[in-house]
Every structure is written in C-alpha cells, then in structure tokens.
Structure 1
Amino acid sequence: MNQSYFAQMSKFVLAATSVAILSPIASASATSGFSTTVAQISDNSTGQQLLADKKVETRSRTTIERQTITTESRSSSVSAKGKKTGFSLAIWEPSGNLSEVIARISVKSKGGKGYLKERFLGDYKYKIKQKAKFAKGLKASDRIVVRLYDVQNRFIGYSEFECLSANTTVNLVLSAKPTEYQVVRTVYGVDADQDGTIDAGTTTYDYFTQVSDQRVSFLSSSQTFQGSQFQVEGLSTIPGTSVYPVSFTQGEYALVRQSFVSVFSSDLAEALQATPGSLVQVIEVSDNSSYDISQMLMNYRQVGMSRALQVGFSDVSTNYWAKDFIAELASMEILEGFPDGTFRPDAPVTRAQFAAMLRKAFAKGKIRQAIAFKDVSTQYWAYNAISEVYQMGFLNAVIGKDFNPSQSLSRVDILVALARGLNYQSSGSTDTILSVYSDATSIRSEYRSLIAALTQRGIVVNYPNVNLLNVERVATRSEVSALLYQALSSTGQVANISSQYVVGQQQQQVAVEEQTETSTEGVKPRRHCNQGIGNGSEGCDPGNSHPHGGSNDEGGRTPGKK
C-alpha cells in the first residue's frame, strides 16, 4: 500500500478507534466469556457453475479495465454431475446512511492441511441491497475474504466466510455508522435452489466481526451492543451467540478469539494493498451480475498474488508455449521454481515429484488401502504424497511393492495416471477419437481407451505438433504442467487457457458440468508483466527442486543437487 494511503488509513483508524472505545460495540470484542455455537457445514445441495471464455485485449497502461465475457452453452458427449461450490453476495445497510459500497473480494484456497496465500478477486461497487453471483474455481472449505470500503475509499469493515460444498447465499450487514463502528454481521448458508434465501432445514451461520487498529475480531456474541441496527427483513433474527463453521473455532486455523487476525499485512498481493480504483478498475455490479472466479484469478494473476510468492522465471519467456500453464499452477502453489530463479521447463519429472504435484492439485477420496513400498522409507521426502496418490488411484506400484520414486515419467505415464485417478471413461469409438493423432498406432491397446477419454475432455496437450502424441517420450516439466492444468480444467476447478497445442480445443470444448447459456463480467490486465510465478508452499515437492542436502516432504524439495 502506498505511503499516502497508509497515512490516510492510520488517521482514520485512530479516529474510529477513539470513538469505538466509548461505544458499547467496542466491548463486544472482549466478550470471550460468551459461548459460541459451532455448526457443521451442510452438504446436501447442488449449485450451478458458470463457464467463461475470455476475450483477450492487450493494452500497455497499468490499470485493469472491465470487459464483458460471454459464455455459450455447448453440447457434450461427456459430462459429470456433482455438487458445485459458488456463492451469491448481498450487502445491506438497514439505516439507509449508505447507498453504495465497494467490496474487495479475495480467496484463501484450502490446500492440504492449511490454506494457500490470499489471492485477489476484484473490487466490486455494490448498491446497497444488490446481489452478485460468484461461481467456478472454488471448493468446499475455501475461505472468502471481503474488505469493505465506502465510495470515498475509507475502510469500513471486514468479513470472512467458509465456502460450502453447494451454492451459498451470503449477506453482509453494515452498522448504522460504518465509518465509526467497523462492525459487520455475516449471515450465510446453503441456497440449493438459488432463490437468494438460505434453505429451510439447513444451518445458518450468523456472526459479527469488528475491526480495531487494523486487526479484526470474530465476536462470540452480539449481546453487548444494539443488534437491531443489523436486522434485515428476510434474514433470521440475530442469535444470542454467534454461529460459526467448525474450522473458525477449532484447530490451527481457527479465527474466533484470535486477537492477531490482521486486516492488512506486508505480504499481501499488490492489488490487496492498493487504494480501490488506483491499480485496478472497480467493477460496477449490475442486477443479476455473475462472475467467474477461476477467470478472475487468471486475469488478476499479475497483481493479485501474495508478494511472498516467487514471481517470474528467467527461462520462461513471455511467448513460451506453456507460460500460462506454468504460471497458473505456480500461483496455485502446486509447483515452484528453483532457488536460482529458473523453472527448467525441459527437465524431466520423476514419479515422486509427480506424486507431490498430484497431491497438491487434487483432493480426492481414497479408493484403496495404502501399501508399504519397499523403496520408499517413511523418512523419504515424498513418502506422504506417494502414499496418498496411490490410495487415490493415480499411481501404481511398478513391480511388486516397488514404487521407483526417482524414475522419470514418459508422456503416456502422465496421461494414464491422470485418466485412472480421475476415473475418466471414453464414449464412442476409441479408434475414431484417436484418429486425430498421426502416431495413434503407437498407443498400447490397454491405454487406448484412457487416452481417448482424456482427448474427449480436452486434456491432451502436444507440443510442438498438436497431432503427434509421442507417448514414449520422456515428459518435461512444461509438458506435465500443461497436462496437469488441463486435467484441473476438466474438473471445473480452473479457467480454460486457450492454446493451439490443446488437442481439439477449437472443435470440441467438451465440458464436465451441465452448462447453461449465461454471461459474466471480468477484467484483463493492461500492463505487461512477467507471467512466471513460483511459490514456497509447504507439504509438497512440485517436482521442481533439487537443493543441496537432505529435505523432506513437508519442505517441498527433492534431495540432491541443484
């Protein structure tokens, strides 16, 4: 955040804090003696996701301009039905003192046992009582952060909520004097029929957050201040004790009763520290607006990632064929670069490294029991990753109970692992599907249907010849990045990346969820930035690192030389 903004914020926070100390609201954050209701997340409804194809427009200025993105309904011979995570967000201020508010939205994605670095999703100007829908690219247990500003760019409140495994309705309610009392009521729950109300018979999460001195408190109760100012017609009556998701009250990442939840920190993304409108354009929310989160993540990648993440790879040029695949996986903390700032896109990938990537990329149920591989000790850096991806069905033993963790993988090894782990089956004639490849006869019979299934879903990426599969060639880090990203795209977790090397992308565009014709609004960065992005994630080796000395699975690096 720039110095002038810090100065403005400091003066404002001091003034607001002085008032709050004298108000009954201020004492609410100290009411830790009140009990807090903890509710389990409901998991009983299906939400509809939005798909978008980005219209690319290159500009040289350093702001981000809104543009319209239109999606088309596409027919598909392959579909997968399932629960889709998305949310609609409405903002209320019952007293009528505010007519508009800016909602700065970001996401902390659930990854392994913790959360990834916070990523910016955009600044949205709401009229009070307006609603907007956000879909695609989320999963249950991801946390959404909303920082609220008035139209004079004064910070007025903070909220955080946990995504449910179905469509969700979220309501944020501001106090009568939000510039003085930075208190927000958060009310949300499952909305399976998407009618804008929380479904009867499901849990309603209902709690308050208060900001003081740039720290936010998740309150246990509203009993010590006038709750009526936060009551909105159509919402439930304010409960005596707050109702939180379990993860907000228990475990390492609990938020309730924590006094050091910072609203702003030095490692936040550039866009999260800038004054609204100064770095990216504020998006005007219109009635029934819909936004594709996976597309927003990609569009804002240049300015929306934590400063703690490595950005830019010296050996991945701006016109490199796999640049966007690499950058997106790196921004998702699935893979990272080397300490010397390189990515080494042409280096091979070992079975252990690929296991670590898969573990970070997919959260799947276990379909079989773990086995004790003779050549993978419990102290081996990738022991946990190998065990888990085996149980998920991605990788098998090589011979007997050997895993061969240091063995390099061929392209067919990568393809078969993805097809098996995702349980993809082809429909139609396998020979017809595979006829797109000039070397289709080189595919072994037991793998043909699996590769056909991946081809139908647009997962196969061939460089430099899109029609040449090269199944026996050793897979490079760049090729694995492209294939893994496309596999994620096939599940609806990430936005589509347009590439001439994706097999059948222009002809098939096979989707994995039921689609309806809709439209979304998005943004495209105007400035030219190095798109290469790395990470320092724990719990995985992205198949990328070979520092001197030993390491372990949690450190995310492969033992050996650089």
Structure 2
Amino acid sequence: MKNTNHGNFGHLRKFVLAATSVAIFSPIVSAYATSGFSTIVAQIPNNSTEQQILAHNELETSSSSTTIQQQTVTKQSRTPVNNSRVAVKGKKTGFSLAIWEPSGHLSEVIARVSIKSKQNNSFLKERFLGDYKYKIQQKAKFVNGLKASDRIVVRLYDVQNRFIGYSEFECLSANTAVNLILSAKPAEYRVIRTVYGIDANRDGVIDAGTTTYDYFTQISNQRVTFLSGSQTFQANHFQVQGLSPVKANSVYPVSFTQGEFALVRQSSFTIFNFELARALQAIPGSLVQVTEVSDNSSYNVSQLLMNYRQLGISRNLQVEFSDVSTNYWARDFIAELAAMKIIEGFPDGTFRPDAPVTRAQFAAMLQKAFTKGKIRPAIAFQDVSSRYWAYNAIRNVYQMGFLNGVIGSDFNPTQNLSRLDILVALAQGLNYQASDSTDTILSVYNDATNISGEHRSLIAALTQRGIVVNYPNVNLLNAERIATRSEVSALLYQALYSTGKVANISSQYVVGQQR
C-alpha cells in the first residue's frame, strides 16, 4: 500500500527513492570524522526494509561574521492548572567546569563547550553551547537541559586563539564536578588531564567516597588520543592541590572503553570535520561573542541550545523551514525535533506545518523518539506488508504499547490522526496515570464535557505532566480535530520533556505553563 504525501517525517538514508514517497524519520547517528587512518566511527546500522529518502535541501546559513550576543530569557506569564503537577521522569543533572594550570604561566583560556546528547542507544550530532573566557582556577556552572550519559566536549584555546587541547566527559547521574588541568606549556605540550566525579551538593568538589574519573588526552595534528596513562610525560606538572594525585593508569567511564561509542583506542580521531556546526569550526569571537566567566557564573543549557541553534547545529541538519516563520507558535518545537533527527522537512525547504499526520508517519516518529521495553507481542497486521516503508516502526511501537490496531487485524496506516488519537497514544505508551481528581484536572478545558469517559483519565494524566499543547486557545482541547504536523511536533516534544529527555521550551500554549 502506498503512503500519501501529507507528512514527511523523514528517515535519513543514503539514497533518494521515489519522489512521491513520504520521508520517514532518520536513524540517529553519532559519528566521528573519517579523515585519516584509524578514525573512530560510531553509527546505527541502516534498516533496509524501511522507506529511504535523502533530505538534500540543507539550509545554508549566512556566511557573514555577525556576532551573536547573549540573549536575555523572557519568562512568559503562567496560569496554573487546577491540580498539583507531577514530577517529570528522569534525573536532572548539570556540571561545574574548572580550568587549572599549575605552573602559573597561563592566566586565561577560552573554553569552547558543546554537547553530544544521548538519545536512546546513540548520540545526537554535537551542538555548540558557547565560548567562555576563563581566568585560571575559575569555575562556571552549566545547568538545565542535561541528563545522565550526555557527553560534553571542551575544546581549549589560548587568548591568541591557538587550539591547545581537547577533552570529553560524561554527565553523571547527579551533578558533575569537572576539572581540566593544562600543562605548563599548553601551546607546545598539548595534553589535558581531566578529573571529574559526582558533586551532589553542587559545591564544586567531587564527593568523597564516589568514583573519580581521571585521564589524559593528547593533541597531535588536529587529532586527539585518549591515553591509557601518564607514563609518557611528567605527570607532576598536572597535579592540583585538592585533587587526587595523578594516577599511573587512566580511569575512564565504562562507556569510554567499551561499546560502539568507546573513545579509548590505540588510535586517535580527528577533532574537526566538515559536518561540525559553523560555530564549532570558527575562530573564537568571529561568529559568536566570547562570554567572560565571572565568579559563580551559571549558564542555562536549555537556553544556550535555543540561542545558538542557527550556528550551533551540524551543517547537515535543517532546522529552519521556509514556511515556519520566526514568530510561528510551534517553531521551537519543530526546530528542536529536527535537530534531534526525529522529524524533517520536504525537499523544497518547507515543513508544511498544517498538513495532517498518518498513523504510519506517527509510528515512525514514536520509534525514533522513544526506546521502551516491549509489553506485548507483535501482531501481523493484514494491511501492513513486510515491504511497507513503516513496517518495522509500526511493529515496534505496537509492541511498546503506543498504537493499537483499528478493526480486526488491520492497522490502517494511511488514516489521518486526530488530536485525541495522538494524546491517547502518548498516554498509553508512556503508561501515565492521573494522581488527582480527573474532573478537577480537566476543568482547565472549556470543552472538557466533550472528552469521552474512557479517555478522561488519560487526558488528565497528560495535562498533569504538561504535555498538552493547545493552539490557538490554550483552554480548548479540540480533541476530535485532525492533528497537524505542527501540533504533533509540540505534543511529542512535551512528551519527551516529561521523560527528562529534552530541555524545556517556554510556550503560552502549553497547558499549565501560564500563570
């Protein structure tokens, strides 16, 4: 059965197949550049049974060197939902970053900070979080929008903009205290010691009795090697009072030494490649203003991701669309999901935000957004052949509990979904239940009486968790209305936020986000 072209939630692959086909979601891939020998490459294998299409309409950003200034966040007013909010799933984390140079030869350094967000079993493309000028021994905090297993990359430059070092570390289950220690001659001897561990009380010190990760990285010809120990250089140059003594053998997180995304190898990998965001390739200060770190500085990662989205995302990702204006109500939801490679636009550069979404397209979206245990066996739907472009997605999300069949053993993959269909699928798949009076929670909606009895508790559970997004009237659920691509983007993003997987987006159309 052929799919209609109402939606284009794309699955990136290597080749464009039929022009009339609908793009599905791309596999989430995190890969190191392959220039030179022995480069580490980490990639999710392709699935040949799904429909393939290449998004070849990459958005070209301006080549001008306009400096992006730090933006002030304006909080929107909120009116509370008449119920207590349920805490979101997932542990929130953050990190403090301190930079040291024990010899005292260096007084300032520029730290370029970026993030590889963990998504399901892979990592998203590296995103720029800013350039920060540190005085040696200063500390800065980075909070919000982070979760355990995210990887933070720090590229260090001296004040003459010479590249002097690279480090990468993993966000831990609680707040992380990170220390980067430079050598006495960093421009010549480009080695960094990284020391970090849990700092639950956020005092900038690694908690006693917890694991301290301690390792060295070395730069040579724009390539970095994660070293097995400190035997090949004078380790005493990297000793800082208050930190543990330099160990002979490096101590790495397990994910750095084992598995598909291990960094510790006998070989090295390149630090710069053509796919990196423009801001990650530019000289500090040329595209983005360098931020002066002051004592007790704190930076909101959620806001940094938004501020730097234009220049801070991989060059091969399109996050801006010709028919989604800068003041469009769902712009940030759409752009962030596009940055996560969960959705994408059409080859003509549009997103078509008012187009409907089919059951097959939504299944593909859910498969890319969530990794959950399978709660029921698969069904061989009579109207979904094994050659159908969304066969695997439909099979998987059914097993995860998100979407049911429709009539008998049919799935009806080309049926357009209503807002209620989307909401029910999210509530059932995430197994959300209301913790307060359903009627009290639903009283926020002017059309609450239109919600059927069998669905009221599900809608109430989503409302409690801030998942419901109503445009243009936040107090009208409009449950039976056909869901648009923009609405589905907003609802799915909020569902991801409720699980702790993404940063908060402030919107006046999120129920409960006004006061």
TM-score (norm 2): 0.80
1:358 aligned partner: 366
Query: Which of 225, 234, 239 matches 1:231?
Result: 239
State how 1:123-142 maps to structure 2 within 5 Å.
123-142=131-150
Aligned: 1:63 with 2:67: yes
1:368 aligned partner: 375
2:109 aligned partner: 101
Whether the 8 Å contact between 1:144 and 1:162 is mirrored in structure 2 is yes
In the alignment, structure 1 segments of 5+ residues that lack a partner are: 1-31, 33-59, 508-562
TM superposition shift of 1:63: 1.9
Q: Residue 83 of structure 1 aligns to a residue in which SS?
A: coil
State how 1:318-329 maps to structure 2 within 5 Å.
318-329=326-337
Q: Residue 206 of structure 2 aligns to a residue in which SS?
A: coil
TM superposition shift of 1:82: 4.9
TM superposition shift of 1:481: 0.6
TM superposition shift of 1:256: 1.8
2:320 aligned partner: 312
Aligned: 1:496 with 2:504: yes
1:558 aligned partner: none
Aligned: 1:450 with 2:461: no
The one-letter code of the counterpart of 1:132 is A
Whether the 8 Å contact between 1:221 and 1:241 is mirrored in structure 2 is yes
Runs of 4+ in 1 over 6 A off after TM superposition: 70-75
1:242 aligned partner: 250
Whether the 8 Å contact between 2:89 and 2:499 is mirrored in structure 1 is no
State how 1:34-433 maps to structure 2 within 5 Å.
62-67=66-71, 76-80=84-88, 82-257=90-265, 259-363=267-371, 365-366=372-373, 368-375=375-382, 376=384, 380-399=388-407, 402-433=410-441
Q: Residue 252 of structure 2 aligns to a residue in which SS?
A: strand
RMSD of aligned C-alpha atoms?
A: 2.8
CA distance 1:400–1:187, shift in 2 (3 Å): farther
The one-letter code of the counterpart of 1:104 is R
Whether the 8 Å contact between 2:71 and 2:307 is mirrored in structure 1 is no
After TM superposition, the structure 1 stretch with the greater mean CA deviation from structure 2, 276-285 or 317-326, is 317-326
% same residue? 77
CA distance 1:238–1:393, shift in 2 (3 Å): farther
Q: Residue 64 of structure 1 aligns to a residue in which SS?
A: coil
CA distance 1:167–1:467, shift in 2 (3 Å): same
Q: Residue 243 of structure 1 aligns to a residue in which SS?
A: coil
Per-residue CA shift, 1:378-399, capped at 9, x if unaligned? 5544344344434443333445
Quick one: distance in 2 between partners of 1:143 and 1:82?
17
1:49 aligned partner: none
CA distance 1:358–1:494, shift in 2 (3 Å): same
The one-letter code of the counterpart of 2:176 is T
Quick one: distance in 2 between partners of 1:258 and 1:291?
36
Per-residue CA shift, 1:24-83, capped at 9, x if unaligned? xxxxxxxx9xxxxxxxxxxxxxxxxxxxxxxxxxxx993222355598999954324753
In the alignment, structure 2 segments of 5+ residues that lack a partner are: 1-37, 39-63
TM superposition shift of 1:123: 0.9
Q: Residue 475 of structure 1 aligns to a residue in which SS?
A: coil
Quick one: distance in 2 between partners of 1:377 and 1:191?
52
TM superposition shift of 1:125: 1.6
TM superposition shift of 1:135: 2.2
After TM superposition, the structure 1 stretch with the greater mean CA deviation from structure 2, 90-99 or 435-444, is 435-444
Q: Residue 431 of structure 1 aligns to a residue in which SS?
A: helix
Q: Residue 232 of structure 2 aligns to a residue in which SS?
A: coil
Whether the 8 Å contact between 1:136 and 1:493 is mirrored in structure 2 is no
Whether the 8 Å contact between 1:136 and 1:494 is mirrored in structure 2 is no
Per-residue CA shift, 1:267-306, capped at 9, x if unaligned? 2111111211222122222222222212211111111011
Per-residue CA shift, 1:396-419, capped at 9, x if unaligned? 344555444333221001111222
Q: Residue 412 of structure 1 aligns to a residue in which SS?
A: helix
Query: Which of 471, 476, 480 matches 1:472?
Result: 480
Quick one: distance in 1 between partners of 2:198 and 2:389?
40
1:514 aligned partner: none
TM superposition shift of 1:492: 4.3
